[in-house]
Structure 1
Amino acid sequence: MKVLFVCLGNICRSPAAEGVFREMMPEAETDSAGTGGWHVGEPPYGPMQAAARARGYDLSDLRARQFRRDDFETFDLIIGMDSDNIANMERLRPNGNETPLVLFTDYAPDSGAREVPDPYYTRDFDGALDLVEECASGLKAALS
């Protein structure tokens, strides 16, 4: 199973989701990307790395990249952190492609969250990680 996690800049939410999920389900192939290209080649944002590291997740090997049209062909499942991410990716979907494109919070329906808030703006890195862990656990259950 190849899973792609996508947020806006690929420096907070999606690398955190990738890092958490690869720990929970190491047999899955994972990657992350951003719908915007501002941070291509950069490591995850320092405060997100620190919050993740405090929970035992190492994000230091990850580098931001931009979502590409061919990601629909490469991955079995593409997961967006918010509805804007989903809409931006949907515009790039090749005709006839049926790769599932879902919100990460669909895997944590009891959380009451509709989207994973962007801690780059909210500054709540631990709160974002709490939700990411809950969603990743639900995703693992759905794929197992």
Structure 2
Amino acid sequence: MHEDAAKPEMAAVAGPCANIPADHMAFIRQVLDRVGDKWSTLVVTVLKDGPLRYTDLQRQIPGISQRMLTRTLHQLQEDGLITRTAYAEVPPRVEYALAPLGRGLHEIVRQLIDWAADHHDEIRAHRAANAATTSRRS
């Protein structure tokens, strides 16, 4: 058997994707879409200090609709990033918490949010300058 025949096709010849098998890339893009969307990053960050009920999550994430929070929680649970615990009480109580996989993601997400907050004014200024330049060209 030829030595190269056993090697999987890689996603790229060079760069960060060079060590990733090509057949894994579609799934990796899906995961990055999921963990990189604004609502998922905020849910992961808010759950850092411990379990929260749905209404507490909604209060701590300004601007998220009920539909989007429900969808985000379902997706994060589906991927094993959060857990959902339902308690047999009256009234029923459900709490969401970071799973071990989600705790590993938290620090990365926190750094991204901190970076965005730290550079807010600079990015806003660049956008405004770019918008002004674009409108002059029109």
The TM-score with structure 1 as length reference comes to 0.26
Whose RCO is larger (CA < 8 A, sep 6+)?
1
Q: Identify the structure with the greater helix proportion.
A: 2
Name the larger-Rg structure: 2
